[in-house]
Amino acid sequence: MQECDLVDIIPKNRRYTWNNRRLGIDNILEHLDRILVNTSLLSEFSTAHADILPYSASDHYPISIFLEAHFPLGPLPFKYNSLWRSNPIVDQIVQTAWHHHIEGSSGFIWECKLKNTKHALKEWVK
């Protein structure tokens, strides 16, 4: 397993993967089946887990593997780059966004102008 870079995913809901289907003291339950996944595959997913499902025709329980993709964490936070200070286009973008007329309380105007400036700079960076 280590040479092939494999990880055994332990099922959460049941311990055994095989049943001889006998009743009483003759019943045997064993953990025969393994769920081996390559670690490079696991790195592509945020979550991996397995469930052992109820058996039907076979004496082995079917196994279901769930791999959940990475979820986007939302928009990237805005970060000002100090190199922008030397770019005259950035001055124009800031002045245009800042001088846009907005009505409301001083706090509301301040917040809207900051949002407008941030949005304009984000669009420019793209």
Q: How far is CA 24 from CA 19, 20, 31, 32, 71, in A?
A: 12, 11, 19, 21, 47
Q: Is residue 114 situated within a structural domain?
A: yes
Give the global pTM: 0.46
pLDDT along the chain (126 residues), means of 10: 84 83 89 84 81 84 83 72 87 89 89 90 85
> For the chain, what is the domain count?
2
Tell whether 62 and 86 lie within a shared domain. no
Q: Is residue 76 situated within a structural domain?
A: no
Q: Is residue 36 situated within a structural domain?
A: yes
Q: Is residue 75 situated within a structural domain?
A: no
Q: Is residue 104 situated within a structural domain?
A: yes
Parent domain of 103: 82-125
Tell whether 63 and 10 lie within a shared domain. yes
